[in-house]
Amino acid sequence: MSAQIIDGKAIAQKVRSGLAEEVAALQAKTGVQPHLAAVLVGDDPASAVYVRNKQRACEQTGIGSTLHRLPAETTQDELLQLVHQLNNDETVHGILCQLPLPEQIDELAILDAVTPLKDVDAFHPENVGLIVQGRPRFLPCTPHGVQQMLIESGTEIAGKHAVVLGRSEIVGKPMALLLMQKGAAANATVTVCHSRTQNLAEITRTADILIAAIGKPEFVTAEMVKPGATVIDVGTNRVGEKKLVGDVAFDDVKEVAGAISPVPGGVGPMTITMLLKNTLLAARLAAGE
């Protein structure tokens, strides 16, 4: 039997309508319109598309946004100066520096410079620390989006074995943290697998929830998946000119899994939605709400 398809686009639309109402209510009560400042350095076409999608989503939800586009040869000092300016701008509630940054710029130095109260990506060490301690301020966008997809698909999480493929700072590590936490939509037993993991398929086959975030096109095959498991595909791999594929061999795995998210139309729209949620929260914190 073919798996339930977890439609990230549809779930994202539903969450965004709720957010639009909350944004309007905050503005009516306090006069504050949440505002996201996006910083894009260089001309990586994929990054430009991601940032444009984020701005469109802001517009759709009534959140203001400004794009700061800087040339590829921007120096670290110039970028730091912009970050400081945005930190001090009371009309800006969220700051997003689109990654990757050009190689002459130390990414960590930039992410560390964003004031934690405007760090809607949840990349600042203070916000990461709060997540580790189970008392988050902002939740990391992609892992939070995945968690919402698990909830919406009716996947049981507590006590289940969740296997996270990939240990990146943006997805794998914080994903594991969210699922192992005490609390709702959590309490899973979590295993993190990575490029040095031995007997990978043996481990993935024991997963009730399998989350793939390794950036390898169609790496997860049907033989690696336990029948009935929920499979969430975080991968966005460009093959050829236009085609986008995930980390999961969707057509084969959907015949084994109980539920599966597609690429595109899966995690991507949810990541953006959680960014909007964080921007609203940042505006609330600034407004003392």
> Which residues of the chain form contacts with ligand GUN (CB under 6 A)?
96-99, 121, 141-142, 170
Give 213 or 259: the residue with its C-beta nearer to ligand GUN. Answer: 213
As a three-state string, the secondary structure of 42-70 is: CCCHHHHHHHHHHHHHHHHHCCEEEEEEE
Q: How near is the Cβ of 99 to ligand GUN at its closest, in Å? A: 4
Which lies closer to ligand GUN via its Cβ, residue 155 or residue 271? 271
Nearer to ligand GUN, 51 or 192 (CB): 51
Catalytic residue status for 98: yes
Catalytic residue among 54, 160, 226, 254: 54
Annotation says 121 is catalytic: yes
| 64-70 β-sheet, strand order | 64-70, 35-41, 94-97
Least distance to ligand GUN from the beta carbon of 46, Å?
Answer: 9
Which of 119, 121, 233, 247 does the annotation list as catalytic?
Answer: 121
Read off the tokens for 100: 């990757």
| Cβ atoms of residues 71 and 42 within 8 Å | yes
Residue 230 to residue 242: CA distance in whole angstroms: 28
147 is catalytic: no
Shortest distance in whole angstroms from residue 271 CB to ligand GUN: 6
Q: What is the CA radius of gyration of the chain?
A: 19
Among the listed residues 98, 147, 148, 181, the single catalytic one is 98
C-beta separation of 263 from 238 below 8 A: no
Q: Name the minimum Å distance from CB 175 to ligand GUN.
A: 12
What angle, rounded to 10 degrees, do the helices at 141-152 and 172-180 form?
50
Q: Decide whether 116 or 187 has the Cβ nearer to ligand GUN.
A: 116
Closest distance of CB 148 from ligand GUN, Å: 15
Task: Report CA torsion sign: 98, 103, 108, 113.
Answer: negative
Give 211's strand partners: 164, 232
Residue placing its CB nearer to ligand GUN in the complex, 92 or 256: 92
Q: Which residues are catalytic?
A: 54, 98, 121
